[in-house]
Chains A and B, each alone.
Chain A
């Protein structure tokens, strides 16, 4: 079976409230065209929303832009693979620290769940981040469990 890149999209989004919805809808439309099941699209949307919110709220980027690249590939038999890269040009973050957060009810600070939500909803997640190079989160979602 040969994988063929069928759809590709790049967006440059301003860091304004609710811009994450635009990114999620764009990816959702592309995934729907490739036959991805609704629940997988919903999971992907929630992960993208958290990634965009993290970029907007925490990156501290001077250009105040979120760079989104979406590539949809049909793997045959109605099983698309969607690759999403969400990048900012901010200050980066400590991935180990972010992954170790496990807040509980009663703890005053309840924020910081974005990365856990992204990793739970996507099939593959890779993060490149540095203080002077910004952050890119690469997420992969399959139509069927691999």
Chain B
């Protein structure tokens, strides 16, 4: 029944990375994203793009963990962005205010170009 989250990281230069998610972002999935994101930050990544193209469901606990990751990255002077959201996830990000603190792009191509990844 569980739509377990799978993650894949693609490094872009010394300070950039794209994190691909596949599956349900719940509390467990959010914590796993946080673990990977904090590892990347410790490796000097300060420009992180999360591609949620293969994630169709999120919950508010998972999003609250994403907000914590954004806060930590902002504290370190970096930025986190998102791309390829479903319309409903995009709407949910706006409801919870995440969209006020992270850029959201329709496509990975647009994000890569804008973020110089």
Contact = CB atoms under 8 A, between A and B. Distances in A.
A21 B3 contact: yes
A18 B3 CA distance: 9
A18 B2 contact: yes
Contacts of B56: 42
A53 B26 CA distance: 10
Contacts of B60: 50, 53, 111, 113-114, 117
A18 B24 CA distance: 9
A45 interface: yes
A61 interface: no
B88 A46 contact: yes
B59 interface: yes
Interface stretch (A63-71, A76-84, A88-96, A99-107): A99-107
Interface string A12-31: 00000111111010000000
Contacts of A53: 59-61
A22 B95 contact: no
A54 B2 CA distance: 18
Given A21-B2, A53-B60, A105 B95 contact: no
Interface stretch (B10-18, B45-53, B62-70, B109-117): B62-70
B71 interface: yes
A105 B59 contact: no
Given A21-B57, A49-B57, A105-B70, A113 B64 contact: yes
Contacts of B24: 18, 21
A43 interface: yes
A39 interface: yes
Given A46-B88, A116-B95, A120-B91, A105 B71 contact: yes
Contacts of A45: 57, 88
Interface stretch (B36-44, B76-84, B96-104): B96-104
B88 A42 contact: yes
Nearest to A16: B1
Contacts of A22: 1
Name the residue among B1, B70, B86 with the largest chain A CB count within 10 angstroms: B1
B59 A43 contact: no
Contacts of B92: 46, 117, 120-121
A39 B88 contact: yes
State the 6 A-B residue pairs at the shortest beta-carbon distance, nearest first. A110-B64, A42-B88, A113-B60, A18-B2, A120-B95, A105-B101
